[in-house]
Structure 1
Amino acid sequence: MRAPDWLTARPIAHRGLHDRARGVVENMPGAVHAAIAGRFGIEVDLQLTSDGEAMVHHDDALGRLTDGSGALATQTAAQLKQVPFKDTPERMMTLGDLCALVDGAVPLLIEVKSHFDGDRKLVARMAQVLANYSGPAAVMSFDPDQVLALREALPQLPRGVTAQRRYDDPYWDHLAPAKRNTMLHLRHGLQTQPHFIAYWVQDLPAPAPWIARNLFGCALLTWTVRTPEQRQHAARYADQMIFEGFRPED
């Protein structure tokens, strides 16, 4: 299956069309509404709760955007829905809340966050929720095991790999070298069989996404586009951009 045309038809708002200075916070209802109003696709992140719910939130712990602290995985969905945010009166959504809010108006691009520990409960919960969602949606992850889980649990949905050329920056220090090695150069592609690649704009062009795009027909998204120079780079090397900090039509 090739990635559908709707995945690359319009720019995709990174964590929704957010502007924290104006009280529109990433991955929150206001950012979703703003993206819908602009007819942009919406990229969001999912984290797992202690009771197996899929929450729309990037960080795996509270504190950067919210009051409080602690890992999301140690709290229930009900508890997380009560957590105050610093710059908005809105509250964290479940994936079900997000689907009800978007209701097919624009495409959803959903990233599965992972601790690279083989736990597939988040994908299982996603499969339950998305089975009842008729709008355009695609799913992706950095973790090859999660992409394989997506292939098995959600074979009908477009799936992708979030990737970059190297994994030697401090963000990846928690992963064993062998794990990072499996992620390099999309080596797992024959097993995970992605329909699209979401590649870091700073690392384009690169051989692996070029091969995936030109030899295997994968759509190529690029993240996160924030500057005019990155926008030009995205237009040259990718099929569509995942953007933040500006409106593409301004």
Structure 2
Amino acid sequence: MTTVPFLRPIAHRGLHDKTSGVIENSASAFEAAIARGFGIECDLQLSADGEAVVFHDPVLDRLVGQTGAMRDVTAAEICAMPLLGSATHDCPQTFLAFLNQIAGRAPLVVELKHQADPEETQRLAARVAECIAGYNGDLVIKSFDPKMLIAVRKARYSGPLGIITYGYDRPDWYGDMPASQRFVLRHLLHYPVSRFTFISCERTALPLPAIRLFRALGQKVMSWTIKSPAEATNARHHADQIVFEGFDPDL
């Protein structure tokens, strides 16, 4: 199963195009990816009532135009909020509804977003494992957070697990993260406990020694987020597949 999502380019948050009213992580974006034969990447956040919801941001404003945080609204509430700019009035979906929509028609790369509260990390991991227990399609899980990978394994998920990484050289991304923690994450020193089985690496960090080492040892590497044919050409020298948006990698 690990190799399946690497066979075709992976549409970042679905094959979305805001100018055409197809919004990221929407049912329309996922159908567009399926129609073109691409893999699908999606993001999961935890709702107030412990549901896994397909939604990228921890807050509501950018995607649905509401104030507040995902963790403070129920799944029913967020799934009734239309995504801004959606031509078809798509709303966010629960993870279970998303799995029912896809129904094995495309390989899935499912990102579990970092949760600030350790208990919420466990709850999201447990709910995701529960949802996929009966799913028959090709699916892998990934996260920036090694603790999330550990939690998913604890929840009895036995499939492929990916660590998402970059150079940890972007203060606008890592915030107030201590230098020691950034060092561990940059060099994948958590491997003895996280036991990831593939890597999802930001394109400019592909030359990092740890990435090259794990790939030389046989682990698959996908690269994000590729936004042009030139970036795709460069990434494919160091990665096995691309996570793309904004262009058609088949053309």
Q: TM-score, normalised by structure 2?
A: 0.94
Q: How does 1:158-177 map to 2 (within 5 A)?
A: 158-177=160-179
Alignment length (residue pairs): 247
Alignment-derived partner of residue 183 in structure 1? 185
Q: Which blocks of at least 5 consecutive residues in structure 2 are unaligned?
A: none
- Paired with 1:90 and 1:168, the residues of 2 have a C-alpha distance of 33
Match of 2:111 in 1: 111
Does the 8 A contact of 1:11 with 1:41 survive in 2? yes
Partner of 2:38: 40
Scaled by the length of structure 1, the TM-score of the pair is 0.94
Superposed, which structure 2 residues align to 1:48-59 within 5 Å?
48-59=46-57
Once the two structures are superposed, residues 65-85 of structure 1 have per-residue CA deviations (whole angstroms, 9 ceiling, x without a partner) of 212111000000011011122
Q: Measure the CA separation in 1 of the matches of 2:156 and 2:44.
A: 16
TM-superposition CA deviations, 1:171-226 (whole Å, max 9, x none) = 211434443343121111121111100000012211111111112x2110000000
* Matched residue, 2:198: 196
In the alignment, does 2:208 pair up with 1:206? yes
Q: Which amino acid aligns with 2:108?
A: L
| Cα contact 1:15–1:26 (8 A) shared by 2 | yes
The answer for the alignment partner of 2:234 in structure 1 is 233
2:154 to 148, 152, 155: 152
**DSSP 3-state at the match of 1:224:** strand
Distance 1:84 1:7, change over 3 A: closer
Paired AA for residue 207 in structure 1 = P
- Give RMSD over aligned pairs: 1.4
Counterpart of 1:86? 84
User: Take 2:203 and 2:164, find their aligned partners in 1: how far apart are those partners?
Assistant: 11
**Residue in 2 that maps onto 1:129:** 131
Q: What fraction of aligned residue pairs are identical, expressed as a percent?
A: 37
